[in-house]
Chains A and B, each alone.
Chain A
């Protein structure tokens, strides 16, 4: 499987400048790069292609129907050329437009019947402009969705702002998306791209987020997202979770409210399993669950972190508790070997 790294970030937040720098690093010398438009900043890379915006969204509400046609075509073209031996690459970087919601691209990777056999989510990088982020987060839902979808947030233009403001912004970003790590564009390439992807990143950090209670981000001087009603909260469960009931519940919740649940990430202690399972969702999409090899440090119980808008955390907890009783007790969770 070839990882696909999604580089997103608001207009003018420094995506192309970052990409230009990353592509000079030997670690990315075998990357194929797809960009939406050739901008003013020249990119010099041997495997560079252009994609056009073309989101195909069926009105049926079915989660597999959101496919970015041009992204799919561009990736299929890369795969086809590789199969013919014309090119070789070990990863793909897609730079989205500044107003793009990352979810349709992730969904394309997940749902496309050919792409999903060749390409995998390699992680979402989101650039955040240290000078202008405040206004963007406060007024642009796209900016919030990009930050919520991030596995790693890269602060740009930190040399233009003062250190205290940058530190406050970093704290705000981590409150908004505790599942992401925050680096700056001046950091080494390894710090920016290493350990990305749904399978590797962020599980140990979840131990720090196990506190109950919705976090509405009020106060702290940088009340960037209170107007949007964006809430980060964690749901912790002491007892083992039934996989079947959990699957029915989360599928229904994301079917009905996926447009308001920007991110769900966590680890689940399942009945009958010694090792935890990592769950990672963006809006209507849930990535393939990862069976972790061991428990991260900290308490060994289930915890899910939600980043959502306009939903009441306590009602989600109530719903979770009720649905966990769904599975019939007379049907075994696991057939003995």
Chain B
């Protein structure tokens, strides 16, 4: 259930849509799904580290975010990552902010 709005069954983010004809997704094969989930968390963490927030998968069904002060949040859908991360960090993640662009450009 969406922890923000209470709607059931929210987790159908476009990057990992339900496998069906004509739709591009990496959820069809379980090994591919696992590998993609790990890559997604790693990529998100490079952005989240800008505000000292860390993302991990939890029980393969949810995500958990932890902030620098120890605050944490559990959520089911990747759609909720950025609202939750901003709530934990107390500040915005702006992809057009020069400081964030420089941060993710680091080797």
Contact = CB atoms under 8 A, between A and B. Distances in A.
Given A248-B44, A327-B43, A255 B24 contact: no
B81 A251 contact: yes
Nearest to A311: B96
B2 A64 contact: yes
B22 interface: yes
Contact of B96 (A287, A319, A328): A319
B9 interface: yes
Given A64-B7, A65-B5, A327 B17 contact: no
B40 A289 contact: no
Nearest to B5: A65
B17 A288 contact: yes
A288 B23 contact: yes
Contact of A291 (B9, B12, B24, B82): B24
Q: How large is the interface on B (under 10, 10 to 19, 20 to 34, 35 or more residues)?
A: 35 or more
B12 A327 contact: no
A244 B43 contact: yes
Interface in A243-268: 243-245, 247-249, 251-253, 255-257
Interface stretch (A28-36, A79-87, A187-195, A329-337): A329-337
Interface string A208-220: 0000000000000
Q: Which of B31, B36, B92 has the most CB of A within 10 A?
A: B36
B52 to A, nearest CB: 17
Most buried by A among B79, B81, B95, B104: B95
A325 B105 CA distance: 7
A240 interface: no
Contacts of B12: 111, 116
A111 B1 CA distance: 12
A325 B104 contact: yes
Interface string B40-77: 10111011000000000000000000000000000001
Contacts of B10: 64, 111, 113
Given A252-B82, A335-B31, A335-B32, A277 B101 contact: no
B7 A67 contact: yes
A61 interface: yes
Contacts of A99: none
A1 B61 CA distance: 27
B101 A319 contact: yes
A62 B24 contact: no
Contacts of A61: 83
Contact of B79 (A64, A112, A312): A64
A316 interface: yes
A58 interface: yes
23 contacts: A58-B4, A62-B2, A63-B79, A64-B79, A65-B5, A65-B7, A112-B7, A113-B9, A244-B36, A247-B13, A248-B47, A251-B13, A252-B95, A257-B96, A288-B17, A288-B18, A289-B15, A325-B104, A326-B43, A332-B35, A333-B39, A334-B32, A335-B29
Lowest 7 CB-CB distances: which A-B pairs, in order? A247-B15, A113-B9, A65-B5, A291-B24, A255-B82, A286-B14, A62-B4
